[in-house]
A = this chain, B = another copy of it.
Amino acid sequence: MSAPQSSADFEARLRAIGDARYHDKHPFHKLLHGGGCTPDQVRAWVLNRYCYQSAIPRKDAALMARCDDPALRRAWRSRIEDHDGSEEKEGGIVRWFKLAEAVGLDPDYVASKKGALPASKFAVEAYVRFVAEKTMLEAIASSLTELFAPKIHKERIASLLEHYDFADDRALSYFRNRLTEAPKDVQFGLHYVLEHADTLEKQDAVAAALTFKTDVLWSQLDALYAAYVTPGHIPPGAWRPGEGLLKEAAA
Contacts and interface: CB of A to CB of B under 8 A. Distances in A.
A145 interface: no
Contacts of A122: 119, 122-123, 125-126, 216, 219
Q: How many copies does the complex hold?
A: 2
Contacts of A233: 27, 222, 225-226
B21 A237 contact: yes
A177 B245 CA distance: 48
A231 to B, nearest CB: 11
A21 B235 CA distance: 9
Nearest to A214: B236
Nearest to A212: B118
A47 to B, nearest CB: 16
A113 interface: no
Interface in A90-135: 117-119, 121-123, 125-126, 129
Majority secondary structure of chain A interface residues (helix, strand, loop or mixed): helix
Contacts of A118: 123, 212, 215-216, 218-219
Interface of A: 20-21, 25, 27, 117-119, 121-123, 125-126, 129, 211-212, 214-216, 218-219, 222-223, 225-227, 230, 232-233, 235-237
20 contacts: A21-B236, A21-B237, A27-B232, A119-B222, A122-B122, A122-B123, A122-B219, A125-B129, A215-B235, A215-B237, A218-B235, A218-B236, A219-B235, A222-B223, A222-B226, A222-B235, A223-B223, A225-B226, A225-B233, A226-B233
